[in-house]
Structures are given as structure tokens and as C-alpha cells.
Structure 1
């Protein structure tokens, strides 16, 4: 994509001017001279182009556009007039201070930009895998996500899509770490606002599944981490939320979703392998045998290099069930990792929040609990419960409500809170 400001020195200058004194506070990190980590095959690093490896010092300022290149048409969106692969600076969200390089993509709508520039949808994707090749800017997107993001383009929004920390770029991908995913999401917006002309600082955080969790967290982190961003609304579907057992148990119509058939072949056990790899990043004492049976352990090595769809196929072909994969009591071994990574900084969010849940999604109880808890915290929530839809089907079905929700917010119209939606 062409730009009048794509050199590092130019972008650094623009970033500092745009960020102002707020950015020069606690989050202007004094870590100049930090380099990207060496690739580690055990973290799934490699098998991507040289674009993803930043060999110079990573700027201490988060949200600096380091470089860009045209995104291949086969990896794009049908309605994009221009599409670009990007590399930008951010902050390691696991330890909370070191500069890192992160990849992603930017899609610009067709037609003339509105006065002031295109508003920006910051897209947080669901789980793709942990290897570099699973980065959506390299691997591509599911047809589900292509249709969804294309709808936002048609609605008049540019879309910036982070790959998250350690996907595409060297270093571990911490998967469900909400702080990490939040920082990389927010910095993707900063990078394109500072480095690409024709965009407006009117931002909507939009995410699905792991990304739904990320956008709720990002809306909470933004006032301190990225106060320069004008976040107008948040849209979350299929959201992962670590609700309390008492809250989940109170959702009577959905108690059946809390039960699992432990002897049913379950391809979603792929997530269990990713969870173990993520937990091992922060707990070196965790052994695969603490969680997984001997028969399931070989797929842990496959998880290092395989993207989600492939790993799910492997789990299905191996006949994996919860009973023959996860050792009794093993979930307790992962509890600290789960609690820490999925923690939200707050549920009291400044901008209105849309929550879309499928009534047949196993995550529906947690999503309804999130809507209830966020409302109780003082957030304006419009929640929708979609009859007969599961996790994947909810995403595009929700567009009939989520885009009008955002349009109302942008028009300054009030949002009527819906904290306990009726299935429809």
C-alpha cells in the first residue's frame, strides 16, 4: 500500500506527535535496543517469509508501523480496495514491558473515504493455532471470517487485523493471554493510524471466541495502555469468559451445556493441547504427563506445528475422547494458567458493548454470565441470544444486529441495555 509516511523515522515522529504526553507516561518503555527473539522450533517458529522477522532494534514506542507489503489477493477480502500485510511494534503482554514486533493485515474499503477518514474495525481473531504459519496474514482466513470482515468493509469500515504476539513473528504465542492479545490489538490500530493516511481515530473493537475475550479485555486496558485511541464500541461474539461456578449454575436453561460426554470423540480436544503448550510457557514445572495420557501425548508435539483445523482432524482420527486424553483432576493443574491468562482488568467499560451468543454454543452460559456481570459493573451492554446457533454459526448471524448497533453508537443514539437476552 502506498503511503507518504512509511520510513521508520517518519513513522516514529508521527507516532510520538499523535500519542502525546499520555503515551509518554508509564507505557513509553525504556527498552531501546531490544531485538526479536531467535526462532524456536519448539514454539512453532519458522516456515514464513522474511517479512515477519524484524532484525533491527524494536522501537520502545508501541504502535509504530515498521514495514508493510501488499497482501496476496488470495489472502484478502473481496470488497477491499487495498490490502496490506503489516509489521509493527507492541508490548510483550505476558511480562508487560518488553517491546516486541507483531504482524497483521490492513484492509481498506472501496470508494471515497468519508470526511475525516475511514473509521476502523480492530479485528481480534479466534484460535488458529500456535505455529507461525497459523498467522492469518500468512495462512489466510476461514470463509466464515472472510464473509464477516467483508461485511464490515461494505458497511464503511477499514479493518486492521492483528496476528497476536508470536504468531507469524518469532517467539511463543501465549494463546488466551488477554493482556497480550489486548496490547497487540490496540497497537495494530495505533500503527495504521500513525502510518497510513485516510483513517479516522474512530475505533470499534470486534472479536470472536478467543478474540471476543480479547476485545472485552482491550476495552478495559485501553484507558491506561492506549488513551490516545478513541474507542467508540466493542462487539464480542462466542466470547470465552472465566465466569464463577455459582454464576454458571444459576443459568438454569443452559445447565445441559455444562455437561460433557467424556466418551464421545471430540475434535475440540485440540484446544487442550494448545492449553498445555501455553501453560508450559509460564510454568516450566508442568509436564505433559501431568495433564495428558500417554496415548494422547504424541499429539502435543503435533500441536507445535499444526494449525487448528488440522489438529482437530488429527484428534478425530485418533479417536480422542476426554476420558482417554485428559487425566482425572488434570484441569486443576491448569487452573492458575487459565485464571491468570483469562483475567480482565475491569468489566466497567466506557463504550457500549455488544455481546452475541448462540443458544447451542457450549460457551453460551459463560457469555450470558459475562453480559450479566458487565451490566452489574456499570457497562452499557446490548446482548443477543441466537436460537439454534452454535459457536461458529453465531458470528455472521450476529451482523444483522451488531452493525446497526455500531451505527447507532456512531450516530449518538442511546443504546437500550439488554443484560439478560431472550432466545430468538
Structure 2
């Protein structure tokens, strides 16, 4: 049974950072098939090279493939990452399909949380978050390059909100679709991301000129992006009740301690937080998910001083400190209780002060998930209006 069947449509992964219903319910991740284990020895290769690919009974009844591809970690070491390649139905234009790189929201930290593992051709496409997220882009004639991110499908540790790794994973998924003979694509590339994916998409655009200069990014869509990290953590720490939002900080702490050996868990976590991240609590976390955090207020789990103690890491992983240089559409629901709207407004103001070409759409009454329903038609209309890539 896949996680999508277990926890239902409002849950966990594709639609958003800390998909809201799964934070309130027990989670069982699907078993990881042998496909996700890279060959050993792997041998050498370049980022974006496909290691393995298999056609899948894609839920949208359009051509789709599951893949393993090469990427890099925070230190530039080679890694293998899983993901999806999906084509629109019908015949491609003579120039090939334009590409949208989809950067998904929070899936978790453990291996087995990969979005590509939820594909099930027998699922109801109207009741499957990945399908409902991808369908508008496929219907609009975009081929999709979709990264699971490091460590969620293939072996490794997931680098949650580590911008350089997310960017490499997203950009290398585009390199992969360009190498793949099964989907003819053009050079036209747009990066789209929601929540954690908004963070990943922003870093992908910023780092593309140095990491993947051959890619022609023409624009980016950031939906409720996890951008102003200090502001988001500040908002979480101000919550006085027993909030499931504690998991947002817990996942960040766990990821950063793994990614940055110089960080000390004790600088971030109080006693209950340390216990919840202890290796002996792994089974508890896997079975009950964010319910483990629910009995505690954020201030019972975390030291507020972590924002200052880990200031260099917050700064390193906050997007908008390098030029984007392409048009950016940012969408935000005004009733979002995961990404505080004021943090997105601050991010927009900072980008505009830096001279970036930013369009900012807000959606009264929209929360962290419903902003996708309300904002995606506007996003596609904006994408279609972008000029072609430079030759």
C-alpha cells in the first residue's frame, strides 16, 4: 500500500511542504523497489546522466518513466537521485516540448518518501496529488522533469532545505530529460516549485549559470516558497499551542545536522527534541510521523537562539542572495498556516530591491494547499507568455 492510499488526498507529499493531513496522521512509506538501488560498482559519469530508466503505467495515461540519474551533493561529490520523466499526450512540436522542472514540497527525510514511489496506474487521477499537480502542465504542453531529491528514493541522506543540493538535483533532472531519447524536448525551460520546492526552484535558478550553464532558464514560478528561513522559524517559535508545525523545524534540524557536521544538535534542540531525533526513536517517527511532536509546543522542543547560533547556515540556505536574472512569478495564499504570508512578502520586497523582475500574486482565503488550485491557472498563463529562450 502506498503512502498516498494510506493517508489520502490532503496528505503529505506532492502538494506541499509538510503536507497538512499527514502531519496529523500516521504515515507508512512504501517499500523501496530494487529499481532504486544503483548498480555496484556504479562507475564514472557526468551529472545528469541517466543510470537507469523504466517506463511506468503513469497515472495520467501519458508517457512516463521512472529514472535514476547522476547528481552531486553539497560538497560536489557524485550521487544518484531518483525522479520522473513525463511527456504530454500527442505528438511533440518540431522543436520539441518545452520543459518544466517540478520541485516538489516536503516528503520527509527517510528513504522511501520519494514521490515517484506513489505512482499507481490504478489510482483515481482526480484523487492523487501528484497527478492533480502535474496534469495542468502536461495539458498545457510541457514535458516534466521531476526530481525526488537526494536520499528519498535512491540511497543517501536527504538534504532538506540545503539549497545547493536541491538546486543540483533539479537542474540535473533537466539534464536527464534532455539526454533521454523517449521525450523530444526544446531548450525552453521553466522551473516551478511549491514550498520546499519553492526553495529548491529559487536556488536552481540562481545556481544554473554556474552549475549548469548550458541550460536556458526563461522563468521561475515559486508557490508559497520556503524562502525567508529565519522569518519562518521565528513564526513557528511564536506558536504557543501544541502545533504540528514543530515538525517543520524538526525536519530542518535533522537535515542540517546531517549535512553540516560542524553543527551541534544540542544548540537547536531541548530535551524532548533530542529524544525525538535519537536513533532509537526511528520506529516511532516512522509509524506516527508528526504526532511525535504534537504533544509539545515549539518552544518545548527548540532553542530560540538557534537562529543566531546557526546564522551562517541560515544565510547560506536563504535564496535571493544571488541574481536570478529571469522573470519570477511568486504566488502566496493569504491564509497559509505553513509558510507565513509575511515572510513571502519580505522575500518579494528583497528581490524587487535587488532589481529582479517579480510578479507577485496573492490569493485571499487560500491556504498552503488550495493556493495550488487557485494559482496554477495563473501560473500557466504567465508561463505561456514568457519569451523564448535566447539562441
User: Shorter-normalised TM-score: what interval?
Assistant: 0.7 to 0.9
Cα deviation for residue 329 of structure 1 reads: 3.0
Q: Give the direction of change, closer, same or farther, for the CA distance of 1:216–1:388 in structure 2 (3 Å limit).
A: same
Alignment of 1:21-170 (within 5 A): 47-54=31-38, 55-71=40-56, 73=57, 76-78=58-60, 80-92=61-73, 94-95=74-75, 97-139=76-118, 143-170=128-155
| Alignment partner, residue 353 of structure 1 | 328
Cα deviation for residue 286 of structure 1 reads: 4.5
Asked if structure 2 preserves the Cα contact closer than 8 Å seen for 1:91 and 1:98, the reply is yes
| Alignment partner, residue 21 of structure 2 | none
Asked if structure 1 preserves the Cα contact closer than 8 Å seen for 2:246 and 2:293, the reply is yes
Q: Give the direction of change, closer, same or farther, for the CA distance of 1:162–1:307 in structure 2 (3 Å limit).
A: farther
Unaligned 5+ segments in structure 2 are 1-28, 121-126
Q: Give the direction of change, closer, same or farther, for the CA distance of 1:411–1:278 in structure 2 (3 Å limit).
A: closer
Tell me which structure has the larger Cα radius of gyration: 1
TM-score, normalised to structure 1's length? 0.74
**Larger mean Cα displacement after TM superposition, 203-212 or 336-345:** 336-345
| Alignment partner, residue 385 of structure 2 | 408
Unaligned 5+ segments in structure 1 are 1-44, 249-256, 413-424
Cα deviation for residue 333 of structure 1 reads: 3.7
Q: Give the direction of change, closer, same or farther, for the CA distance of 1:345–1:308 in structure 2 (3 Å limit).
A: farther
Deviations 1:287-326 (A, max 9, x none): 544433333434324885788995223333xx22113222
Cα deviation for residue 231 of structure 1 reads: 1.4
Cα deviation for residue 343 of structure 1 reads: 4.6
Deviations 1:55-80 (A, max 9, x none): 23343411111110123x4xx442x4
Return the alpha-carbon distance in structure 2 between the equivalents of residues 353 and 70 of structure 1: 33
Asked if structure 2 preserves the Cα contact closer than 8 Å seen for 1:209 and 1:238, the reply is yes
1:208 aligns with 2:189: no
**Larger mean Cα displacement after TM superposition, 384-393 or 276-285:** 276-285
Asked if structure 1 preserves the Cα contact closer than 8 Å seen for 2:68 and 2:81, the reply is yes
1:363 aligns with 2:340: yes
Which of 290, 304, 309 does residue 312 from structure 1 map onto? 290
**Larger mean Cα displacement after TM superposition, 403-412 or 211-220:** 403-412
Return the alpha-carbon distance in structure 2 between the equivalents of residues 219 and 277 of structure 1: 26
Alignment of 1:181-330 (within 5 A): 181-196=166-181, 197-242=183-228, 258=235, 262-284=239-261, 286-301=263-278, 310-316=288-294, 319-327=295-303, 329-330=305-306
Return the alpha-carbon distance in structure 1 between the equivalents of residues 81 and 277 of structure 2: 25
**Larger mean Cα displacement after TM superposition, 104-113 or 260-269:** 260-269
| Alignment partner, residue 35 of structure 1 | none
Choose between structure 1 and 2 for higher RCO, CA contacts under 8 A separated by at least 6 residues. 2
Q: Give the direction of change, closer, same or farther, for the CA distance of 1:309–1:374 in structure 2 (3 Å limit).
A: farther
**Larger mean Cα displacement after TM superposition, 278-287 or 162-171:** 278-287
Query: What's the C-alpha RMSD, in Å, of the aligned pairs?
Result: 2.9
Return the alpha-carbon distance in structure 2 between the equivalents of residues 60 and 230 of structure 1: 22
Return the alpha-carbon distance in structure 1 between the equivalents of residues 317 and 283 of structure 2: 22
1:177 aligns with 2:162: yes
Return the alpha-carbon distance in structure 1 between the equivalents of residues 244 and 131 of structure 2: 23
Give the secondary structure class of the aligned counterpart of 2:192. Answer: strand
TM-score, normalised to structure 2's length? 0.80
Deviations 1:116-165 (A, max 9, x none): 11111101011111111001112459844431211111111111110112
Give the secondary structure class of the aligned counterpart of 1:378. Answer: coil
Equivalent pairs counted in the alignment come to 349
Cα deviation for residue 335 of structure 1 reads: 3.4
Return the alpha-carbon distance in structure 2 between the equivalents of residues 343 and 384 of structure 1: 19
